[in-house]
């Protein structure tokens, strides 16, 4: 999947005791009601955010991940995260969404010939 928008914020890299690293960014979508979307980049993908600046238009390749967690009271909770894996810099102006259009069908030339002239007569009443 992909998201397109403007870089609102890029956070510093977080390093955990296990050595695991992650870095987050906020992408402001370009739609009627813009949404601030938090996207995390993990391990070897954190360097993709090094050259991004606030206000820059980008397209981000993402995966949506989900997980289940049971709290100490035994209640099951579900969480989602958006993980980025590719960043493409866009143009300086916001672009309109691209909509698919059907391919043009060739138009047959009009003809005055009877298309049924070569068919045999049948005995159907209609």
Residue 43 lies in domain: 2-89
**Cβ(9)–Cβ(54) under 8 Å?**
yes
Pair of tokens at residue 4: 């397109």
**Residue 114 within a domain:** no
**Residue 101 within a domain:** no
Q: What is the pLDDT of residue 94?
A: 46
**Residue 54 within a domain:** yes
**Residue 74 within a domain:** yes
Claim: this prediction has a pTM higher than 0.75: no
**Residue 83 within a domain:** yes
**Residue 109 within a domain:** no
Rg (CA), the chain: 27
**Residue 111 within a domain:** no
**Cβ(41)–Cβ(48) under 8 Å?**
yes
Q: Say if residue 3 is exposed, middle or buried (CB neighbours under 10 Å; 0-12, 13-18, 19+).
A: middle
Tally of domains in the chain: 1
pLDDT digit string, tens, across residues 81-123: 999 999 999 865 444 443 333 444 445 555 566 655 555 665 6
CATH code: domain of residue 74: 2.40.50.140
């Amino acid at each position: 999947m992909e998201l397109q928008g403007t870089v609102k914020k890029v956070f510093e890299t977080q390093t955990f005791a296990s050595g695991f690293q992650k870095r987050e960014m906020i992408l402001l979508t370009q739609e009627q009601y813009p949404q601030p979307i938090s996207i995390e980049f993990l391990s070897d993908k954190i360097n993709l955010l090094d050259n991004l600046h606030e206000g820059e238009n980008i397209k981000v390749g993402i995966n949506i991940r989900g997980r289940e967690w049971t709290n100490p009271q035994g209640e099951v909770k579900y969480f989602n995260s958006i993980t980025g894996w590719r960043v493409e810099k866009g143009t300086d102006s916001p672009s309109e969404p691209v909509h698919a259009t059907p391919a043009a069908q060739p138009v047959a030339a009009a003809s005055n010939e009877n298309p049924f002239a070569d068919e045999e007569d049948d005995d159907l009443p209609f």
